[in-house]
């Protein structure tokens, strides 16, 4: 049985997870890594915009706003 795949965009506000993988092209992967989106880092969804709006996430002491499409490229392991 395959483990269930969770995406950053699947989290609910207040829920935390560990980053499992970043499935982005090289340029976006480097940009996200510079912001702290690295495998093993803890991320918490703070709030989400209405409809398919942006996501407000926290990595340590850093707050980042991500587009839904970017959040769909980040696999996580919920805690």
Q: Which CATH entry fits the domain spanning 6-78: 3.20.20.210, 2.30.30.90, 2.60.40.10, 1.10.10.10?
A: 2.30.30.90
Count Cβ atoms below 10 Å from residue 60 Cβ, excluding itself.
Answer: 10
Give the pLDDT confidence score for residue 1 in this predicted structure. 47
List the chain domain ranges: 6-78
**What is the pTM for the complete model shown?**
0.89
pLDDT tens profile 16-45: 999 999 999 999 999 999 999 999 999 999
Q: Is pLDDT above 60 for 77?
A: yes
User: Tens of pLDDT along 57-74?
Assistant: 999 999 999 999 999 999
The beta-strand segments (E) located in the chain are 6-7, 16-22, 42-48, 55-59, 62-66, 74-78
- Residue 72 is predicted with a pLDDT of 95
């Amino acid at each position: 049985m395959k483990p269930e795949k969770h995406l950053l965009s699947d989290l609910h506000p207040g829920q935390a997870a560990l980053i499992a993988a970043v499935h982005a092209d090289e340029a976006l992967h480097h940009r996200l890594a510079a912001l702290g989106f690295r495998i093993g880092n803890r991320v918490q969804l703070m709030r989400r915009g209405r409809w398919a709006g942006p996501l407000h996430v926290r990595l340590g002491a850093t707050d980042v706003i991500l587009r839904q499409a970017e959040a769909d490229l980040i696999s996580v392991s919920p805690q």
